[in-house]
Amino acid sequence: MAPVVSVTQAVLDAAPKLQVVGRAGVGIDNVDVSAATQRGVVVMNTPAGNTVTTAELTFFMLGALARKIPAAHATMAAGKWDRKAFQGIEIQGKTLGVLGMGRIGSEVAKRALAFGMRVIAYDPFLTEARARQLGVELVADTDAIYRSSDFITVHMPVTPDTRGMINSESIAKMKPGVRIVNCARGEIVNEPDLIAGLESGKVAGAALDVFSSEPLAADHKLRSLPNVVLTPHLGASTEEAQEKCGLEVAEIISAFLLTGEVRNAVNLPGVDAKAFEQVQPYVALGEKLGSLVSQLAPPGVDRLYVTFGGKAKDLPATDPVTRAILKGYLNASGTGPKDINNINVRSIASNLGLTVEEKKSDEPVTFNEWLHVQLFHGNTKVGSAGGTFFGSSQNPRIVRVSSTP
């Protein structure tokens, strides 16, 4: 397996012309996203490419756990024939608790339902309507998963809330003989607490593809437990997934460099090609407005207020326009670094103490579309400018300027 390449601060510093980092997979643990954002480098991943592959591995791990397949194979390879030692359980009729019903969790649920399992799910972003559509029972909290599940599978990202969520406290709430599968992120499971649960028998078994530290140490306790199934982070390791991820990462990088389209970016809101085409004229107008108001206002501006009126309020995305206004303002005012671009401009503005606010106005306007930028020092307006288009989006015009409160 090829070594993992890390895009660190040092790598970014050594590549001053770098514009985009593409990750062929979901996880971006090996990319310093904060440093990339400060440098104005967009970071994109490919969340769809390994969805089916990871879901299949999860379900196969569940089956291997239920029927003790790896341990049985090991004794067969050693020349033994010990049927009694490997009595397993059926999964039909058992309850599978899914923590996280995103792409992968949803695919796992489909496979579990096909095998006659009852599926309950916890995801704060899953609606009742979507749960019914998937055929799963939506529960209110993780405790409901712990209390009712024969099998628990995790499909959540690592956040302050999910880090170590499978621990001694949560295991104590689980059914005796629960079986746990983790093909998501190793940091979600507190490994010492899981080991204690496995040794006590409270946890009947665990199937793990990911670990808090990888590669797993040769002398790690998990390796010696008989009721554990381990694989070396194989979630995305199929020929099909590698091909899908490779093609997808090439497509999203080329689209960004050639057309400005943003897909699957983790540090920039996504804008597809069609939306970007609609927004682009306003981006050009916005940068000019930002540059103009910076020359009207005195130092000490702490708030920038953008109003979208008329047709402008119906734009499919306003964030690229606001970023362009900020870029024009900071470049012309000289208050920011020289390498400001649309990726790092919001971060730079925040670091400078500049608050940015947006409003979509339904008030009647003189023009069909209206973009208005105002600068404030405290509660005092110190400059403003408005723009629109004459005839077509190819003819932007500044139609209002003010340098007084």
Which residues are annotated as catalytic?
A: 185, 214, 233
Q: What is the DSSP string of 251-312?
A: HHHHHHHHH--B-SBSSS--B-HHHHHHHHHHHHHHHHHHHHHHHHSPS---EEEEEEEEGG
CA distance 313 to 368: 11
Q: Amino acid identity, residue 331?
A: N
DSSP bridge pairs for 43: 21
Tell me which residue of 19, 398, 58 sits closest to 235, measured CA to CA.
58
What is the torsional sign of CA 327, 330, 333, 337?
negative
C-beta separation of 338 from 278 below 8 A: no
Please report, as a single letter, which amino acid is at residue 292: L
Task: Give the sheet arrangement for strand 203-208, strand by strand.
Answer: 137-138, 118-122, 95-99, 151-154, 178-182, 203-208, 228-230
Identity at 302, one-letter amino acid code: D
Assigned token pair, 36: 């990339």
> What is the rounded distance in angstroms from the CA atom of residue 294 to the CA atom of residue 286?
12
> For 61, how many CA atoms within 13 A lie in the half-sphere containing its CB?
32
Residue 206 · residue 183 · CB < 8 Å: no
Q: How far is CA 96 from CA 53, 122, 128, 222, in A?
A: 19, 11, 18, 23
Count CA atoms within 13 Å of residue 347 on its CB side. Answer: 19
In whole angstroms, what is the distance from residue 370 CA to residue 183 CA? 49
For 9-127, where are the alpha helices, taking DSSP H only?
Answer: 9-13, 33-39, 51-67, 69-77, 103-114
